[in-house]
Amino acid sequence: MKPLSLGYSPCPNDTFIFYALSHGVIDPGDLKFDRPHLEDVETLNSWALDHRLDITKISCHALGHVSDEYCVLAAGGALGRGCGPLVVAASAIPVADLAGRRVAIPGRLTTAALLFKLFQPACTDLVEMRFDRIMAAVRRGEVDAGVIIHESRFTYGEEGLTCLQDLGQWWETISGQPIPLGCIVARRSLGDAVIKRVERTVAASVDYGFRFPEKCLPYIRAHSQETAPEIVENHIRLYVNDFSRHLGDEGMAAISVFLQRGRTAGVLPPGAEGQLPLFACHLGEER
């Protein structure tokens, strides 16, 4: 079969997860992969809309737009508790006042954007920018507040910013579910058998990272926005967990509830899950 195209972000959790697969230290069997594309998650989200890659990391928000073309792998996802996006500002602002303010979001298809729209639906003056530019834009007064993700969670205090709302904590309170940030998806056109082999390969890559984290670190640090060892380690510890090994019933339920909330709010289109299984592990038997 032809090599499969693969994309993931340069963030430490993704480079941790895909180190073994991308460096050929696990056996993928008869699968072959092209050189991976490392791109900002919003770029990967937009590529998924165009069905550009065979296997890719995307935001769970973006999943709500592409579930007819992609299904979710049980391994490699970013879900958890206490790890959601934060709304920050240069000074304390009552969250009720955000409705009349300019707020930066890290891309329209990010989970952070959907969470913020659910949290503050009256706030419509949203400014899209790369996640690593948001804190500086808030400091300079270009926007009144910003929704930050990734390593920014660990450094916003050093930038003199104030947290107005932890959106992950808010989500956990209203839903009782862990926050589904991102997932790994595969094109349905690959076929059930290939998708399940890809899922096992990604799971093996995750397992390698847990068993030999020190071997992954040079690759992780080479691509991380933040190079301080403690920030890289905190990032991995927060975003790579048992859900990354396998979503399980709890992880799958969290993603399903998140998508349904987005549809009920009118942010997401009607889903394809009624006709197509959302998760790879629910596909037909491998032959």
SS3 at position 249: helix
SS3 at position 278: coil
Which two structure tokens, joined as six digits, stand for 144? 């009144």
Q: Mutual orientation of helices 192-211 and 12-22 as an angle, nearest 10°?
A: 110
The answer to the question of whether 134 is labelled as a binding residue is no
Are the beta carbons of 67 and 271 closer than 8 angstroms?
yes
| Phi and psi at residue 142, to the nearest 5° | -70, -30
SS3 at position 184: strand
Are the beta carbons of 226 and 155 closer than 8 angstroms?
yes
Catalytic site includes residue 150: yes
Cα-to-chain-centroid distance, residue 82: 15
CA 195, 197, 199, 202 torsion: positive or negative? negative
The 10 Å Cβ neighbour count of residue 100 is 11
Which two structure tokens, joined as six digits, stand for 226? 């933040």
The answer to the question of whether 57 is labelled as a binding residue is yes
The answer to the question of whether 59 is labelled as a binding residue is yes
The answer to the question of whether 111 is labelled as a binding residue is yes
Task: Tell how strand 162-166 and strand 126-128 pair up.
Answer: unpaired
Separation between Cα atoms, residue 155 and residue 226, nearest integer Å: 9
Separation between Cα atoms, residue 54 and residue 73, nearest integer Å: 12
Active-site choice (65, 150, 235, 246): 150
The answer to the question of whether 112 is labelled as a binding residue is yes
The 10 Å Cβ neighbour count of residue 22 is 17
Separation between Cα atoms, residue 188 and residue 170, nearest integer Å: 33
Binding-site members are 57-59, 111-112
Which residues are marked as active site? 150
Q: Can you say which residues are annotated as belonging to the binding site for substrate?
A: 57-59, 111-112
